[in-house]
Amino acid sequence: MNHMTVIHRDTLSCEPILRRMPNGELLCVSQCGDVTEPAPGNRVVVFHSADEGKSWSGPTLIIPDTGEAVYLTEVTVFRDRVVVYLTLHNGAFLNWRSQRVESRNCGYTWQTLGPLEGEETFSFPRGAIRLPDGRYMMASQHYPVTALENARLVQRGARWLDADIDRVENRILVSSDEGATWRRLGQVDIPMKGNTGRRWVWSEPTILDLRDGRIAMLLRVCGSGRLFYAESSDGGMHFTNPIPTDIPNPGNKPKLIRLADGRIALIHTPNATLGFAGRNPLSIWLSRDEMKSFPDRREICCFPGTFCYPDGFSEGNHIRFAIEFNRKDILYVDADVSEGGAAT
């Protein structure tokens, strides 16, 4: 049986991330405020649940309001520490710089840590995982926009997607000290131009370590109608060129999660119709052969609307995640993916 509750409703609610806190509570971090994003009124807020998602407290601002727009990219839990990765910008994804905040009381108060070293500007850290050797790895979606190009765009009153760049870099970062420092390894580049000319690629990589030591990466590639795949056989130092898969994707963030029994879950909206119209149905596909195939395909919800940006974790045979609905609602989903089960 699957369960779904509304965490929050606003003029804009988007890109939530759900994590289990050391005290057993659920923490949801999300972007809210204004009516679209990017926009000057975008802020990042937190919600808590002490009853397994039945009710939620909040929203509470994660950092004081300084007038800058704030964008959420990742949340990591290191034993008793919770670190949230943010981007501050001018409301148009320019003057873009990274910021990290930390909580040592399960997300009730926060302290500023400063930018993510090496990823200070135009970077989105995403999808941290814990490797078998205890290290942490995450991808960083980076746009090589120079300070001069940023200043030119600000002066023109231009948009972030007008930047004169030819690629998005999906970098791999690794930490041996529970997120205190991160070291850059390899990267997967996606061209910013296709056969029809200029396009902006919002890649949103999700990574997973496979049992034979390979690192798998799935990427959203705007305008392609499918997910792309790349892998590394040397711990993230080098990756194969990204290739299209047969997994439909409308241009929406996917999420890979390892289950306790070894299966791999892919949370996504398997629809090749491009744009918001294709972000339905909300589905979980399950693989028993390390992503060679996903024969167990479960539809979680298909009522009219758009489901975007799932992110969460697994516990036993359950996948718990938050997802935005119609860019206004943040939903909490508890999906039972027991073997032989079916979506309800």
Provide the CATH number for the domain around residue 139: 2.120.10.10
228 lies in a domain? yes
234 lies in a domain? yes
Burial 137-153 (b: 16+ CB within 10 A, else e): bbbbbbbebeeebbebb
CA distance 12 to 127: 23
- Copy the structure tokens of residue 240: 């194969």
% of the chain residues with pLDDT over 70: 97
Mean pLDDT for all residues in the chain: 94
| Confidence bin at 341 (pLDDT 50/70/90) | low
Above 60 in pLDDT, residue 342? no
CA distance 283 to 56: 24
123 lies in a domain? yes
- Copy the structure tokens of residue 109: 């108060």
Above 50 in pLDDT, residue 343? no
Above 50 in pLDDT, residue 161? yes
pTM for this one?
0.96
341 lies in a domain? no
Above 50 in pLDDT, residue 42? yes
Structural domain of 187: 3-336
Tokens 């029994």 map to which residue?
A: 261
308 lies in a domain? yes
342 lies in a domain? no
What was the pLDDT predicted at 34? 94
Q: Residue 292 carries which DSSP code?
A: S
pLDDT-wise least confident of 157-166, 174-183, 312-321: 157-166
343 lies in a domain? no
pLDDT-wise least confident of 9-13, 40-44, 256-260, 300-304: 300-304
Above 50 in pLDDT, residue 344? no
Residue range 50-80, pLDDT digits in tens: 999 999 999 999 999 999 999 999 999 999 9
CA distance 82 to 70: 18
296 lies in a domain? yes
What was the pLDDT predicted at 198? 53
Average pLDDT over residues 126-133: 96
What is the number of domains present in the chain? 1
